[in-house]
Amino acid sequence: MSDTGVKVPLQRIDAYRWRIPQSYQPEMRVPGIVYADDVLIEQIRQDNSLQQVANVATLPGIVGYSLAMPDIHWGYGFPVGGVAATDVETGVVSPGGIGFDINCGVRLLATGLSYQEVKGKADRLADELFQHLPSGVGGKGMRSLSERELREVMVRGAAWAVEQGYGFPEDLEVTEEGGCLTGASPEAVSTTAIQRGVNQLGSLGAGNHFCEVQVVDYIYDEEAARALGLYKDQVVTTIHCGSRGFGHQIAEDYIRVAESKQKDFGFKLVDRQLACLPLRSDLGKSYLGAMACGANFAWANRQLLMHGVRQAFSRVFGRQARPAEMPLVYDVCHNIAKIEEYRINGELQRVCVHRKGATRAFPAGHPAVPEKYRAVGQPVLIPGDMGRYSFVLVGAPGSMEQSFGTTCHGAGRQRSRTAAKKAISSKDLMAQLEAKGIAVRVHSKGLLAEEAPLAYKDAEQVVRVVHNAGLARLVVRLRPIIVVKG
């Protein structure tokens, strides 16, 4: 990761908040706010992500602040872990502010099994999972689609998958947006994207995407854990995946067209990667329609993958793990833009919230929180790294007051892929994980080291910041026992 040597000024607000003053760059329309403690802020200073927070603050129509969560790191235009809200009338949408993996997200599946029951069969379960979940770069998915079927997926998302027999209608009630963003327009999606998408539904991909079997290791909040159906020593499964090559192609197509139109729109941005489209322009509307197609593909994708997980558990545990007894706890997306309403300076304002590596965290009582969780808040799923911990939180009222209903999304990368590979070999990492009692199955062994725990910040430190800042509340900690990767 490069360091320009330019020091972005930071003013401490309190133990968990830092301000980048608007005076730093004349083009900034709002200040920046960074959520971090003393240790994390030093790690964040190591790359260019603070400069990117300042750059995002120059976007036309940006409202309030350019925000950064404690897991931020350098990304395309926006930092990963960045949040920006733009006015729907005067503002823009920046495709790079959603990211290449449209609706990359996380779902958590409960089981009725305890660690004691799974322990002796972990290797067999790992084999079954690896077999049921197609993975790898460019890999084909569980289901090939005709173009007509892909169109249904683009418009209907996870509901299409449920109708096809992958999972249950109840799954949709605990999926963000019900597993379908409205306003999808397949005509705004290129034929190249469609060609890439038809073979990829129900596939894990590679990189930081994974399926992990985990144990509920520590309970921070008994009442909230009970409401989410989670208890100590329970075995659960996390799926982290997105829209594969399909969403990637949509992002690439619109980033390219946005870059070519900046002059026409009269924009002179400080970074060409921030290329953006007025929300009221035809191109802006086309991007949002295409982005919704990518998002819906990702929800259908995670729905198929979850079906594969339920099948794998059933194969190993029989009647002890019937699919209907493995309820979906929740599904969040952490790379997306949404039109939402917030009270800003006393007035209700409709804004386009860009969440790039950032998770929605609506508090108790919010109408978008499923009824069964309404009293505790929206579940927030935070995968850590494969060797340490992941976390479940619930949204807290502070998110509505401070961060456009948003919190962090993960541990956050601390070392580049190249630096990680230099620091440890895949073989040594595999041995380390096995020694910790974690069964690992990986499609491309060479890529494993890029995702080593040492490549990531400490997720526990990240979630402590958002907990203490009042954006979300800690509920449980999860410890990995099986890792399946692309």
Distances in whole angstroms, Cα of residue 413 to Cα of each of 44, 66, 421, 435, 473: 10, 20, 13, 24, 22
User: Closest distance between DNA and the C-beta of residue 428, in Å?
Assistant: 20
Decide if residue 70 touches DNA (CB under 7 A): no
- Annotated binding-site residue? 264: no
DSSP 367-395: TTS-GGGTTT--EEEE---TTS-EEEEEE
- Annotated binding-site residue? 345: no
Task: Tell which one of 39, 137, 375, 431 touches DNA (CB under 7 A).
Answer: 137
Query: CB count, 10 Å around CB of 421?
Result: 18
Task: Tell which one of 59, 83, 206, 225 touches DNA (CB under 7 A).
Answer: 206
Decide if residue 486 touches DNA (CB under 7 A): yes
Please identify which of the residues 248, 354, 366, 409 carries the catalytic annotation.
409
Phi, psi of 286 (to 5 degrees): -60, -45
Decide if residue 48 touches DNA (CB under 7 A): no
- Between 366 and 485, CB nearer to DNA: 485
Region near DNA per CB under 7 A, out of 2-10, 49-57, 242-250, 319-327 = 242-250
Q: Is 192 exposed, middle or buried (0-12, 13-18, 19+ CB in 10 A)?
A: middle
DSSP 38-94: HHHHHHHTTSSHHHHHHHHTTSTTEEEEEEEEEEEE--SSSPEEEEEEEETTT-EE-
- Annotated binding-site residue? 210: yes
User: Closest distance between DNA and the C-beta of residue 260, in Å?
Assistant: 14
Region near DNA per CB under 7 A, out of 122-130, 160-168, 191-199, 262-270 = 191-199
User: Buried b vs exposed e over 230-255: b needs ≥16 C-beta within 10 Å?
Assistant: beeebbbbbbbbbbbbbbbbbbbbbb
Region near DNA per CB under 7 A, out of 199-207, 267-275, 348-356, 420-428 = 199-207
Decide if residue 32 touches DNA (CB under 7 A): no
409 is catalytic: yes
Rounded Cα distance between 314 and 320, Å, is 8
Residue type, 359: T
DSSP label of 471: S
User: Closest distance between DNA and the C-beta of residue 137, in Å?
Assistant: 3
Binding marks (x or -) toward DNA, 417..446, rule CB under 7 A? ---------------------------x--
Region near DNA per CB under 7 A, out of 45-53, 100-108, 318-326, 358-366 = 100-108
Task: Tell which one of 244, 356, 457, 477 touches DNA (CB under 7 A).
Answer: 244
Q: Give, in degrees to the nearest 5, the angle at Cα 473 between 467 and 476.
A: 110
Region near DNA per CB under 7 A, out of 123-131, 202-210, 384-392, 399-407 = 202-210
Instruction: Return the SS3 of 439.
Output: strand
- In sign, the C-alpha dihedral spanning 148, 205, 477, 338 is negative
Gyration radius from the chain CA atoms: 21
Decide if residue 106 touches DNA (CB under 7 A): no
Task: Tell which one of 43, 49, 111, 249 touches DNA (CB under 7 A).
Answer: 249
Decide if residue 200 touches DNA (CB under 7 A): yes
- Annotated binding-site residue? 211: yes
- Annotated binding-site residue? 400: no
CB 234 within 8 A of CB 215: yes
Torsion of CA 261, 262, 263, 269, to 10 degrees: -170
CB 95 within 8 A of CB 166: no
Decide if residue 242 touches DNA (CB under 7 A): yes
Instruction: Return the SS3 of 246.
Output: helix
- Extract the annotated binding site for Mn(2+): 101, 209, 240, 334
Residues with active-site annotation: 409
- Extract the annotated binding site for GMP: 208-212, 334-335, 383-386, 390, 409-412, 485
- Chain residues in the site for DNA (CB under 7 A): 100-101, 104, 137-138, 192, 195-196, 200, 205-209, 242, 244-245, 248-249, 444, 447, 451, 486
- Extract the annotated binding site: 101, 208-212, 240, 334-335, 383-386, 390, 409-412, 485
